[in-house]
Chain A
């Protein structure tokens, strides 16, 4: 666990990791056109507005795609599943994560999931997902 790479928050992403440390999932939202913007950028990809604020999302989504990796990578012992979760707030609003309570070989596209938080360092909680 200790050799898992940890995020290095920067001025554009700090809000995200500060929120997960509070066990909340926040995504930037354009205050002009209401588009959710992920990964965090200082301007909205839909309307170019610079008026973006973090807003809490439901944490519910579905598995958009997945891969079961059969070689070890830093912090992970094979086999393990990596998923792309599409959040229910917006088509195409996706994040990379893991599903904690499903064996890797049972992960499927379309599986409904919801966020759960796991501490990986004193100041870092990762947004992972469980089946719902």
Chain B
């Protein structure tokens, strides 16, 4: 017997370019803020999940001991290639639904490692699949996904201007978000003036690295109704990959695992893209948000570029996206901020950037060969 599940609390730590705070302290600040928003205490928590990725954060045990949680009946540290900060939220929603725990706290924290350059270190032997990339000058995620974006441009005629319109639109949203680290408006001229990282990606196509943490508390819908904030119901939480999960052997680099994830989302929820009021789409790189729009079926395949350039994803457009500024302008919190923004939009708390009458939202994370997505409903 599956139980209805809701998001009942959300919270952030300080978010900044180079904070003089440990990643553990940031994590605890976010968890306390999320519990406080719900009106819960650490004594109420009996489940926990996080995505510590490649070790840039702290595991569940650190938080249990530091917050004074008496006991966990369910926990998961989700390592490896997973769809970023949405991963623990989906896992916790399923755990609460099946009764493994009643109040689960989930978090994603990031602290940039400023000692180590990106990619692989110098002068050593590279194991695994990376032995077929790093020796050819191809150690960075930006390069792998740039080649997906390039293939999409080749196949569908997607343009640099259209990629630029993603960055410009999300920055405009960030100007209305007091918590966003990048709030100065930009134009397409600014976009074209930003330095090229790896074609077709410029600096403004890449997420903005920050230190910070976000946390989300999940409980049953029934219990959430008695808590401090309005419940946001979790209608579906899905993961997917495809038959050739690899950065260059993937069957066709013009679509991502998001295609399979979206099929699961719509089939299992019985809903359709037209039902959505807003979308918080993973934008580690601009093109990922474009591809998610297409793969979700919000616009036809191949038409994401014109769809965005025509203003459809701006606040006030047909389907506002990344209303907090996304990762491009809201900071690289690895999608936990996308979950928090969607929940707050569906509670109607977003001030100048509030999407009018927002009731149904989708949150997505992951790019290339991995995908995760949540369907959230407000006013329940």
Contact = CB atoms under 8 A, between A and B. Distances in A.
A73 interface: yes
Interface string B124-154: 1111110111111111100100111011001
Interface string A68-97: 111101111000101010000000101111
B131 A13 contact: yes
A97 B123 CA distance: 19
B136 A82 contact: yes
Interface stretch (B172-180, B196-204, B217-225, B333-341): B196-204
Interface stretch (B2-10, B243-251, B295-303): B243-251
B143 A82 contact: yes
B198 A65 contact: no
A109 interface: yes
B119 interface: yes
A77 to B, nearest CB: 9
A96 B248 contact: yes
A74 B134 contact: yes
B248 to A, nearest CB: 5
Interface in A1-53: 2-10, 13, 38-39, 45
Interface in B184-206: 195-201
Given A39-B249, A65-B151, A74-B134, A5 B195 contact: no
Contacts of A7: 125-126, 131-132, 135
B191 to A, nearest CB: 15
Contact of A65 (B124, B134, B148): B148
A67 to B, nearest CB: 4
Most buried by A among B132, B133, B137, B199: B137
A120 interface: yes
A39 B246 contact: yes
B249 A126 contact: no
A9 B244 CA distance: 22
A64 B133 CA distance: 15
Contacts, number: 121
Given A39-B132, A67-B150, A74 B127 contact: no
Nearest to B151: A65
A70 B126 contact: no
A38 B249 contact: yes
Contact of A70 (B136, B151, B196): B196
A66 interface: yes
**9 closest Cβ pairs, A-B complex:** A8-B125, A76-B137, A7-B131, A67-B146, A65-B147, A5-B134, A69-B198, A65-B151, A68-B199
14 contacts: A5-B126, A13-B131, A38-B249, A67-B143, A68-B196, A69-B143, A69-B198, A70-B199, A71-B198, A82-B143, A92-B251, A96-B132, A96-B136, A98-B136
Given A82-B137, A109-B150, 12 more contacts: A5-B121, A5-B139, A6-B125, A66-B147, A70-B196, A71-B198, A73-B139, A74-B123, A74-B134, A92-B251, A96-B136, A98-B137
Interface of A: 2-10, 13, 38-39, 45, 64-71, 73-76, 80, 82, 84, 92, 94-98, 109, 120, 124, 126, 128
